Amino acid sequence: TFLSMLTTSESIQQDIEKLTAQQLQQVAEFIAFLRFKEKRQRMELTPELLVSLSTEFAEEDRTLAESGVDDYANMLAKEDAR
């Protein structure tokens, strides 16, 4: 019922007020995960959406790989300098 739901919400709020900063961060991450999970469940994976996501992630992967190569090259140069 609504009254028991309210009591549960109040109880959760009281518990949250007692958490450490690290525990609050974990709660925030879990809430973000729940929101992502809900959004993902509502998303219909059409072929067009899959192509779009693939393109988006491919660009992100390429960017990460390029930045990783630069870091690796810098690390090698430092090792060679020794």
User: Tens digits of per-residue pLDDT, 15-54?
Assistant: 899 999 999 999 999 999 988 888 776 667 788 888 888 8
* AA letter at 66: E
**How far, in Å, are 10, 56, 66, 76, 82 from residue 79 at the CA level?**
57, 35, 20, 5, 5
Angle in degrees, CA 1, 28, 60, rounded to 5: 125
Q: Name the DSSP letter for residue 51.
A: H
Residues whose CB is less than 8 angstroms from the CB of residue 19 and which lie 6 or more positions away in sequence, other chains included: 27
Q: Residue 1 pLDDT more than 80? A: no
Mean pLDDT in residue range 61-69 = 76
Q: Which residue reads 């090259």 in tokens?
A: 73
